Amino acid sequence: MPATDPLSATFAALADPTRRAILARLSQGETSVAELSKPFSISAPAVTKHLKVLQRAGLVRQGRQAQWRPCQLQAAPLREAADWVAQYRQFWEQSLDRLEDYLAELQAKPVSDTTLQPARRKRKP
């Protein structure tokens, strides 16, 4: 993985369902790599690889105790990600509003309207 800006590293780390599941598990409390690996059908080395991506992005920290090296969630980088995405809130709300307007328009039309029965053709007058 090339050197990258922190926000790109955060988004790249989140771009995998296994890594998101690891973060979800760690949100319930710190745990060992062995415990973390249990619910996944992938190998322990594959889990370790995902953990390394999360650690490089600063989303997971692993303790340094000899036997028990618990992984911990580090949520701070997610704040910048949330702030970045939140800038676009008005745009997805606008598209939801347009969808609602469209549905309201459909409901306002009589049931016999052809938009609800696209299979029937209106005869030309």
Residues at the interface with a copy of itself (CB under 8 A): 4-5, 7-9, 11-12, 14-17, 20, 23-24, 27, 73-76, 78-79, 81-82, 84-89, 91-92, 94-96
d(CA 82, CA 75): 11
d(CA 27, CA 48): 18
Nearer to a copy of itself, 12 or 33 (CB): 12
Residue type, 17: P
Nearer to a copy of itself, 83 or 113 (CB): 83
Nearer to a copy of itself, 101 or 113 (CB): 101
